[in-house]
């Protein structure tokens, strides 16, 4: 009788170990999936942080819109301007505000043919060039054939920045 009781307890212990090991494997799998999902987002956000910091500390910026007013690419009707000192300071303030207000990742979009979006080309004091692209509701940078998309947390402030960039082109 004592021996039977001991065997039963040992069987329960074995079942508990199996459940613990199984649960541990499932938890590990979930952790791996989460890390694989979150790591690119964190990496992309860190790169955008660096790009915005480079823009804020830049010495020169140009705004370019390949489809300026006409939407014609082949007609070469796009426009690019080098920002004046006043415009440069204003855009740098707006970019700094965008960085401080924060933004969230909106994912990655394939762009095999490139992009025809308004962009801000920034040259730092170390002659490093950064290009940021701006659409009405989001902004991004391009990494190979992928657009790494972001959306500003303060939509009103972002729209103001977007409008100022457009106004620079109209001047």
Write out pLDDT tens, residues 84-126: 999 999 999 999 999 999 999 988 888 866 678 899 999 887 7
Q: What is the mean pLDDT of each run of 10 residues along the chain (171 residues)?
A: 54 70 80 72 84 89 85 68 92 93 90 80 86 94 90 94 92 76
Q: What is the pLDDT of residue 22?
A: 78
Q: What is the pLDDT of residue 12?
A: 61
Those residues with Cβ within 8 angstroms of residue 43's Cβ, 6 or more apart along the chain or in another chain: none
pTM: 0.77
**Do strands 119-123 and 103-110 pair parallel, antiparallel, or not at all (unpaired)?**
unpaired
| Count of all residues that appear for the chain in the document | 171
Query: What is residue 128's three-state secondary structure?
Result: coil
Query: What is the spatial distance between Cα 117 and Cα 119, in angstroms, rounded to a whole number?
Result: 6
């Amino acid at each position: 009788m004592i021996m039977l009781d001991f065997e039963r307890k040992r069987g329960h212990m074995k079942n508990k170990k199996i459940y613990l090991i199984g649960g541990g494997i499932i938890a590990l799998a979930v952790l791996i999936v989460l890390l694989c999902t979150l790591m690119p987002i964190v990496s992309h956000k860190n790169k955008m942080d660096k790009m915005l910091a480079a823009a804020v500390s830049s010495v020169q910026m140009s705004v370019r819109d390949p489809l300026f007013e006409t939407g014609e690419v082949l007609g070469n009707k796009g426009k690019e301007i080098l920002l004046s000192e006043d415009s440069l300071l204003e855009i740098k303030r707006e970019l700094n505000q965008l960085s401080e207000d924060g933004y969230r990742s909106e994912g990655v979009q394939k762009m095999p043919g490139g992009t025809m979006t308004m962009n801000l080309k920034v040259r730092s004091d170390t002659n490093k060039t950064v290009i940021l692209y701006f659409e009405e509701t989001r902004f991004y940078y391009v990494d190979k054939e992928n657009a790494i998309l972001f959306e500003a947390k303060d939509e009103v402030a972002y729209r103001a920045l977007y409008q100022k960039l457009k106004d620079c082109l109209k001047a």
